[in-house]
Amino acid sequence: MIIVLIVIIAYLLGSIPSGLIVGKAGYGIDIREHGSGNLGGTNTFRTLGVKAGLIVTISDILKGTAAASVPLWFGSSFHPLLAGIVAVIGHMYPVFARFKGGKAVATSGGVLLFYAPVLFITMLAFFFVLLLATRYVSLSSMMSGLYAVVFSIFLGNMWLIIMTSVMTAFVIYRHRANISRIRNGTEPKVKFGKKAV
């Protein structure tokens, strides 16, 4: 019974639509009707600007962190990475936003922040290095996921290897359209120092 409760709480935490809340409460905008239509941080940055983008991204990270910690609330042996995966699914398919959510990047990172903070920090650094080099958020996100898998293999933690592989698979799957646009040369690039459109 406790496990069921943990799963429900983790899913509901993941389902919190940060982009939708920030857009409507702070700007009177349904972010799903603008830009890519995605609820994640990248579309928020492009649609509403840096401040809103940071709020949404940090919120999405922290809900992954909170979800991974849920088993501790109950003193359960349920693995925190499993609770985290449930939150990631909630983020992608949120009950509070008609099951149309984000691309799993920030929330997956939040899960790792709880379970393997060193991995999270180095992965974040890897992401920004790639972003500066390529200016593609999507490519940097997917490659950062692969970095997490390699790092997990290096650590030899089987749970971490499995779960980073699953989360990376989610991220790549959710970026299918971005992969096509990168191939076609039509994927938007980050414009540093300017408001992206």
> What confidence score (pLDDT) does residue 197 get?
34
Residue 196 belongs to some domain of the structure: no
Residue type, 3: I
Report the pLDDT value the prediction gives residue 32, as an integer from 0 to 100: 87
Q: How far is CA 152 from the centre of its chain?
A: 18
In a domain, 113, yes or no: yes
Q: Is residue 29 in a domain?
A: yes
> Is residue 183 packed enough to be buried (19+ CB in 10 Å), middle (13-18) or exposed (0-12)?
exposed
**Alpha carbon separation from 155 to 118, 119, 148, 184 (Å, rounded):** 11, 10, 10, 37
Chunked mean pLDDT (size 10), the chain, 197 residues? 96 96 91 84 89 95 98 96 98 93 94 98 97 95 97 96 97 95 92 53
Residue 50, in any domain of the structure: yes
Per-residue CA distances from 86 to 5, 81, 94, 110, 177 (Å) = 12, 9, 11, 13, 24
Neighbours of 191 (CB within 10 A): 11
Residue 191 lies in a domain: no
Q: How far apart are CA 79 and CA 121, in angstroms?
A: 21
Q: Is residue 194 part of a domain?
A: no
Range of the domain at 83: 2-184
Rounded distance, CA 47 to CA 117, Å? 30
- pLDDT of 193: 58
Residue 113 · residue 65 · CB < 8 Å: yes
193 within a domain of the structure (yes/no): no
The structure tokens listed for 87 are 């939150």
Q: How far is the CA of 13 from the CAs of 57, 112, 143, in angstroms?
A: 14, 16, 26
Which tens digit of pLDDT belongs to each residue from 148-167?
Answer: 999 999 999 999 999 999 99
Query: Does residue 34 belong to any structural domain of this protein?
Result: yes
Tens-place pLDDT, residues 31-68: 988 887 788 888 899 889 999 999 999 999 999 999 99
Q: How many domains does the chain have?
A: 1
